Amino acid sequence: MSRTYRVTVRGRFENLTAPQRERLLDEQEAHDVFASRFTPEGTFLYTPQLIGYQFRYLLHVEEDSPEDADLAAQLEAQELAEAGMRARGLQGRIVKISLTCLDDVKIRKSRR
């Protein structure tokens, strides 16, 4: 069973050094909420105060049941966010992972 998820991983920065703060502030426009997209590669964004961050992903998961797929998406999202922070040389802790299975979303068309 294939399921597609829109994933948001929210976290908080820890132990930012002065050079890390400067780099993030210099890149801020490219990493704000208006530049964010849900993509397989992921989008990294953060608050102007450099307190919190988000990673947004579009994940495709193959599992036998919806419950297994939900768990696999949760674990993969955590691993991707941790790897994204390591790749940027940053430290942080994950606060919340939100999953929306696009296969379960029902769109109601209005009649006019």
pLDDT of residue 6 exceeding 70? yes
pTM above 0.85, yes or no: no
Mean per-residue pLDDT, 18-45: 85
Contacts of 32 (CB under 8 A, 6+ apart): 45, 48
pLDDT of the residue at 23: 92
* Alpha-carbon radius of gyration of the chain: 16
Distance separating alpha carbons of residues 108 and 50, to the nearest angstrom:
38
Distance separating alpha carbons of residues 43 and 27, to the nearest angstrom:
13
DSSP summary character for residue 39: B
> 59: closest CA among 2, 104, 106, 1?
2
pLDDT (tens digit per residue) in 76-106: 999 999 999 999 999 999 999 999 998 887 6
